[in-house]
Amino acid sequence: MMNNPSFVYSREKMESITVIVDLFTHKLSYWQDGKRIRTLKIAVGKPATPSPIGVWHVMAKYQGWGGGFGTHFLALDVPWGIYGIHGTNKPNLVGKSVSLGCIRMRNEDVNWLYHHVNIQDCIIIEGNPLGHAYRLPRHLAEGERGSDVLLVQNRLRAGGWYQGRQDGIFADDLLLAVLRFQRKMHVPVDGMIDRDDYLVLGLLE
């Protein structure tokens, strides 16, 4: 069972314009000056390609992408990849966990959002970095990217095992830290994060 590392942002710390994405309910809420103005239905990342959990900001706005990206794209400053909020040519999938990590919306909804957010506005994506409680978290190996990698980086750093960048990327420096951690904690020394490692890190119970 997961040790509930879910990320939920304090409403008291919200900026004047804030967008909150709830991965569990598949809903996006637009807040202004602490008041919720509108709630919209969304599609989110699949378990194998999860949406990036955390506090991000809009770094660019695009119109007319077309195809699977719909009519508008709001790019987020996620350090481990290209993620954003965009439209879709498959509106029937809105409300499901089907994307490669981006947040999908109906085109009319993303059009509304596009005209109500600005560059540097706050986008908060809430959820559990390890996925749903009824599934074991994914195994992590060198090359993986995501909120779960960032969580492992944070735990290893707190324990003094890792001194590298906290960027959600499983690179060489994290691999070396994982190997040191595994040798010391007497778990299989394979350079991967799996169930045994999550347990020792206190992320499963």
**Contacts (Cβ under 8 Å, ≥6 apart) of 200:** 181, 185, 187
Residue that is written with structure tokens 């994405």 in the block: 21
Q: Which fold has domain 147-200?
A: Muramoyl-pentapeptide Carboxypeptidase; domain 1 (1.10.101)
- Is the torsion defined by CA of 176, 178, 181, 185 positive or negative? negative
Cβ burial, residue 18 (10 Å; 0-12/13-18/19+): buried
- The structural domains of the chain, with segments of one domain joined by +, span 11-126, 147-200
62: helix, coil or strand? strand
Domain 11-126 has what CATH class?
A: mainly beta
What are the tokens at 33? 């000056």
pLDDT tens digit sequence for 24-68 = 999 999 999 889 999 999 999 998 899 999 999 999 999 987 788
63-92 pLDDT, tens digit per residue, is 987 788 999 999 999 999 999 999 999 999
Beta-strand ranges (E) seen in the chain are 17-22, 27-32, 35-41, 44-45, 54-63, 72-76, 84-86, 97-99, 103-104, 122-126
**Tens of pLDDT, residues 115-143:** 999 999 999 999 999 887 677 888 999 99
Which residues does the annotation mark as catalytic? Answer: 86, 102
| pTM score, whole prediction | 0.86
